[in-house]
Structure 1
Amino acid sequence: MSFALREHTADVAVEATGESLDAVFGAVADGMAAAMCDDIPEADGERFDFTVAAESGEALLFDYLDELIYERDVRGVLPVDNEAAVSAPSSDGERTGEWTLSGSARGIALGSVEARDLKAVTYSEMDLSETADGWHAYVVFDV
């Protein structure tokens, strides 16, 4: 699993790859944290759990990242060390129905780090696609 921050006109984008949906979702979330903070402490913060459901993979990725931004704002923490367990429904070999995610993150108090603000996740240029090596994701954030 890996991610890279990409410049995007007045915004920031995260491009990520992973061997599985779980890995690519976690990598995008870790990329989002890196876009907010250059230096992430190793041991600070407690883990918190949450669940998200949506009608498609792209909608689930959007809602997952939006939930992390919400948790950041409500808890006053930077969500890092993100873990995601994605369940994609299948019907006759096609992915249809509700997608779900059980996630967790380690929340580092915003007062203990120098963090930049990301306003929101966007659907602009969003990509979630299966590749020969696993999964690819591209997400643009409004700054």
Structure 2
Amino acid sequence: MSEDTERTGRNATAEADDGADDSRWFELREHTADVAVAAAADSLAGVFAAVAEGLTAAMCDSIPTTGDRFEILARSESPEAALFDYLDDCIYERDVRGVLPVDHRATVRRDGEEWVVEATARGVPLADVTARDVKAVTYSEMELTEADDGWRAYVVFDV
């Protein structure tokens, strides 16, 4: 992406914490040598899925319809750590399975002292796409906040 380029994506339906439809969006933002995703959604689960969609957009401009759904499970001590671990698992799946995770769906819940992310994504074989490398998710400037109209997140990825 050029320095003045921003890409925005919208997905009108995302699985929310309670299984209901959830409005969500993301926007790619330049960040020094990295890329950042700003996202918002009606629910915590929706904002997790929106950030993951932003991660996908940072890696690929055009997404084919190929690929099968797979599951991701992350357990962490806080919502921010759960978001980090979920996104890290998406990158891990790309590296290990050789697929680009797309069409993200997530549920997020508290289970005792842990936060649990149960998610699915469609894994598009990397052979079917021209993908850019995103090396890692970072805690640098990470924000996850609840607002009057839902949830907001900001995540920086190392490219």
The TM-score normalised by the length of structure 2 is 0.84
Task: State the alpha-carbon separation in 2 of the partners of residues 78 and 51 from structure 1.
Answer: 17
Q: What does 1:1-143 align with in structure 2 at a 5 Å threshold?
A: 1-41=24-64, 43-88=65-110, 97-143=113-159
Give the paired residue count. Answer: 136
Structure 1 outlier segments of 4+, above 4 Å: none
RMSD over aligned Cα atoms: 0.9
Task: State the alpha-carbon separation in 2 of the partners of residues 14 and 70 from structure 1.
Answer: 18
SS in 2 for 1:81: strand
Greater share of residues in strand: 2
Structure 1 unaligned runs (5+)?
Answer: 90-95
Structure 1 residue 118: Cα displacement: 0.3
Report 1 or 2 for greater relative contact order, CA contacts < 8 Å, sequence distance ≥ 6.
1
Measured against aligned partners, the alpha-carbon deviations of 1:21-65 in whole angstroms (never above 9, x if no partner) come to: 110000000000000001111x21000012110000100000000
Task: State the alpha-carbon separation in 1 of the partners of residues 110 and 144 from structure 2.
Answer: 13
Structure 2 unaligned runs (5+)?
Answer: 1-23
SS in 2 for 1:117: coil
